[in-house]
Amino acid sequence: MEARSVDAIPRGKEWQYEPKWDGFRCLLSRAGSSIDLRSKSGEGLARYFPEIVAAAQKLRADGFTLDGEIVVPLGKAFSFDALLQRIHPAASRVKKLSEATPALYLVFDLLATAREKHLANEPLGKRRLALEAFAKANLRGSTFRLSPATMSYVTAKKWLAQAGGGSDGVIAKRVDLSYQAGNRDGMQKIKEFRSADCVVGGFRYATNKLSGRKVVGSLLLGLYDDAGLLHHVGFTSAIKAEEKPALTDRLEALIGEPGFSGSAPGGPSRWSTDRSAKWCPLKPELVIEVCYDHFSGERFRHGTSILRWRPDKAPRQCSFEQLKQKVADPMKLLKQK
């Protein structure tokens, strides 16, 4: 069951609202002692989260299928970086991480039990009641948490306004529909987009040339900390093709060390290529306003889009301070009744 992106929270008695968690979507199934964790793309996840497998084997119920999200708590937030580190080929590394930063499984749907093998065919309203009863009887301990749900539009708006720290929006689901596997008819997702003024601390050339010349492919964004250090916080590649030649000329005239005086774009990793590690540092003179949906771990979680250049802004005004917001504590959200 997938979600359709929309601009506003839908209203009506047919909608149930839930926090949108920033983790790995996962179907968890148990048949006797056999546990299967399956990603949205159909890939197996069990080997990367042995602590969830072990916890699932200890539950009282020995036959069920759950829909939920895998997250890794770190401090008062959920860390997507810590989650990504689990996708590692070495079992010893995965085991060490599972002990140092154990994951949680946040449950928001029940698709089958030993008695009701076709619960997914029932409307969400009935499935939610069954899930709450299942959770009360089985989901005790520290690994499984029941994700909150509400029929209140006001509560959903509050969750959206406080998105951050592991919750990056709101999910709206039709209570009158069965589990809509493979389509987006029964679920919508709403994110709160925000803007930030950033220093362009560097850039990367595009892979392909334009009219025979190298042109910019992406801008590397930076923010200043309280000590005056410029840290790399993300990128934007939403540059119109017709603007790239002139922008490249402008950027090349500003090439100079160090670009970022704090944290800088890293070298090659298991997620990057050799090309993605190559970048040109710039003198910190250009300021750009970008639109983003989520900021955590001192960087933008996804790519950003360009709103406008800000020649009226001094680079030193581009600080982390502008991104501070009151966000919901994800662990407190999970404790709501």
Q: Is 189 a catalytic residue?
A: no
Count of all residues that appear for the chain in the document? 337
- Tokens (6 digits) for 178: 């069965």
Long-range contacts of 214-217 (CB under 8 A, 24+ apart): 214/248, 215/244, 215/245, 215/247, 215/248, 216/244, 216/247, 216/248, 216/251
Query: Is the N-terminal amide bond of 50 cis, ω within 30° of 0?
Result: no
**Residue 181 vs residues 153, 172, 186, 195, 203: alpha-carbon distances, Å:** 25, 16, 9, 34, 41
**Residue 312 vs residues 83, 231, 304: alpha-carbon distances, Å:** 39, 21, 21
Alpha-carbon gap, residue 337 to 333, rounded angstroms: 9
Residue 182 DSSP code? T
Q: Active site residue: 13, 20, 76, 313, which one? A: 20
- Tokens (6 digits) for 283: 């003198």
**Is the alpha carbon torsion for 197, 202, 204, 210 positive or negative?**
positive
**Is the alpha carbon torsion for 111, 51, 56, 73 positive or negative?**
negative
Determine phi and psi for 187, rounding to 5 degrees.
Answer: -145, 135
8 A C-beta contact, residue 16 and residue 47: no
8 A C-beta contact, residue 69 and residue 39: no
Cα 25–Cα 18–Cα 107 angle in degrees, nearest 5 = 45
Determine phi and psi for 232, rounding to 5 degrees.
Answer: -70, 125
| Residues recognised as catalytic | 20
